[in-house]
Amino acid sequence: MKGKSRAVGIIGTGSYTPPRVLTNFDLEKMVDTSDEWIRTRTGIVERRIAEPDVPTSRLALLSAQQALESAQVEAGQLDLIIVATVTPDMFFPCTASLLQHELGAGYAAGFDMLVGCTGFVYGCAVAREMIGVGRYEHALIIGAETLSKIADWEDRNTCVLFGDAAGAAILGPVEDGRGILTYSLGNDGTNADALKIPAGGSLMPTSEETVAKRLHYLTMNGPEVFKFAVRAMAQSSLEVVERAGLSMSDVDLVIPHQANLRIIDAAAKRLNLPYERFVRNLESYGNTSAASIPLALDEEVRGGRIKSGDHVLLSSFGAGLSWGSMLVRW
């Protein structure tokens, strides 16, 4: 990254998961699957599901309040709110606008980021630049999803994978040499069809036919995404570490997108890093898309596992197909 920019870091985190637990055994009663299949193919044991009347903004709000408290920043001090989500309350207005009002965040600028599971890393990268140049002081970045609302509960290929959650981070100026050191973002639209909701947009507006054909649910080419994920996470992780003038062995903790334990395993192997350095919480939450990295980050921060000076690598992939890695010195 070129040009003079002040250091920007994560100065507070928060998260929220809905109380309702859906286990693999519950899913056995809903579709033709088994606890054994789900555990061995994905590593997931249970996930949290929001009640039908609870929108994404509710989860986002609760995680944001926690993050503000941990950063000791008042909502009124926020200049910018970015919500990464593929499950906004509605097409528009954006979820960030709803949150600005609910949090009482002055007239903070805000927008949603629709980059699938990679959205949180994208959001942090954008906020880092805006704070880095001195335009803003404090930004709230949230990854929040209610994927249960777009999962096809009749499709065993996908519905067993997802869960609902929100994670939030406050970004602000930090002392030189700390904070977000560098990032790598990318996108390869040649495989855009591998992960999508086919209908409901301008390409295929909602009709009786699209509803009858179940085209408003998430569809996925699992094996295609799997191959892409391992490659993209490994490449972009190496890139950020090199850009920061470090080597992989300097990385104290990797927080990968929580989609599948086998993906995390394969990435660890490619990066030649001990498996223990990779955070895993998908056993309890499944894949929570944009919420997965900030949720895991918040758990690690609160659990005291991230110490001052640690190098923490966030690495994600998702719809697009997109990828994003970011190296932080805590």
Positions marked catalytic: 117, 257, 287
Tokens 């758990």 sit at which residue?
A: 299
Distance CA 60, CA 69 (A): 14
Pick from 37, 185, 239, 310 the residue near ligand ACO by CB under 6 A. Answer: 37
Query: Taking CB under 6 A as the criterion, which residues in 65-124 touch ligand ACO?
Result: 86, 116-117
* Phi, psi of 212, rounded to the nearest 5 degrees: -60, -35
Q: Which member of 81, 115, 141, 319 binds ligand ACO (CB under 6 A)?
A: 319
Q: What is the DSSP letter of 213?
A: T
* Whole-angstrom distance, CA of residue 39 vs CA of residue 243: 37
Cβ 107 vs Cβ 281: under 8 Å:
no
Question: Which of residues 42, 70, 95, 236 is near ligand ACO by CB under 6 A?
Answer: 42
- The residue (of 38 and 279) whose beta carbon lies closer to ligand ACO is 38
Residue 195, interface with ligand ACO (CB under 6 A)?
yes
Q: How far apart are CA 157 and CA 320, in angstroms?
A: 20
Token pair recorded at residue 56: 């994404």
Binding segment (CB under 6 A) for ligand ACO, from list 38-46, 47-55, 296-304, 305-313: 38-46
Our CB check for ligand ACO shows the closer of 37 and 330 to be 37
The least distance separating ligand ACO from the CB of residue 83, rounded to whole angstroms, comes to: 15
One residue of 85, 97, 260, 284 binding ligand ACO per CB under 6 A: 260
61 lies in the site for ligand ACO, by CB under 6 A: no
Torsion of the alpha carbons at 318, 164, 222 and 254, rounded to the nearest 10 = 50
x/- map, 134-163, ligand ACO, by CB under 6 A:
----------------------xx--x---
- Contact yes or no for 290/85 (Cβ under 8 A): yes
The answer to whether 230 and 263 are in contact (CB under 8 A) is yes
Q: How far apart are CA 308 and CA 330, in angstroms?
A: 5
Residues that bind ligand ACO (CB under 6 A): 33, 37-38, 41-42, 86, 116-117, 156-157, 160, 195, 218, 220, 222-223, 225-226, 229, 259-260, 287, 289, 318-319
